[in-house]
Amino acid sequence: MGRYPQKSNSHGSLKNLQVAINKKKKYLDCEISKVVGKNMNINWKSPLKSDDYAEYRDEDFLIKLGILNKYPLSNFWPDKGPQWDALGVSGDEIILVEAKANIPEMESPGTKAKTDSRRKIENSLNEVKKYLSVSDTIDWTGTFYQYVNRIAHLYYLREKNKVETLLLFIYFINDVSVNGPKTKDEWLQAIQTMECYLGLSKKHKLRNYIYDIFIDVNTWNR
């Protein structure tokens, strides 16, 4: 199964996203709408209180979103792929979410996949790099692997299956529980450094479908 119930008494981005989707949906949708540039009334599929705040991965994330994939996910990525922080639907568009509350979270460890699984991952990442005009000398299986495998799944849905999909990276500001950034600029600097390391240009082919959303947790208490 690719369904993973989560605790409700956690902290950091896990807790913040639970609050945003289950208690502050109108505010969250409004902030996303401002960045995307159109009204986004999102039907959030996860993490929902009524569903044990579960997160989804592999085939189960596709089922949760009601996606009938023409190109099988198993041909593109092995099991134990990205576990999505949130999933939603807005009109005809699928919404994928990865959330962060502090900068160290961005520097994820590399893939631990072995043999055939690793080969499949490397082949797919190389396909995405070629599509985005990223040098094949840049290794995407190490530092910031989590970030690029999310982008790879955006590519999988949009290019392999022709599914209208947006990838949102939600960055929380002023989360004192994890000593998170106090300003948007701190996040922007970290994001720029990461994208430079990964060889991602400002105008790559998937750029128009990737959005950085900045949410100040202090606004919830005003």
pLDDT for 1 beyond 90: no
Burial class (CB in 10 A: 0-12, 13-18, 19+), 95: buried
pLDDT of residue 221: 61
- The rounded mean pLDDT for the chain is 96
Sequence-separated (6 or more) residues with CB below 8 Å from residue 179: 102
Cis amide leading into 47 (omega within 30): yes
Nearest partner of 181 among 107, 104, 85, judged by Cα: 104
pLDDT, average across residues 110-126: 96
Band of pLDDT at residue 8, cut at 50, 70 and 90: very high
pLDDT for 111 beyond 60: yes
CA distances from 77 to 89, 114, 128, 216 (A): 23, 13, 12, 34
pLDDT, average across residues 125-130: 98
pLDDT for 222 beyond 70: no
Q: What is the pLDDT of residues 190-213, one digit of tens each?
A: 999 999 999 999 999 999 999 999
pLDDT, average across residues 58-80: 95
Bridge partners of 7? none
The reported pTM is 0.97
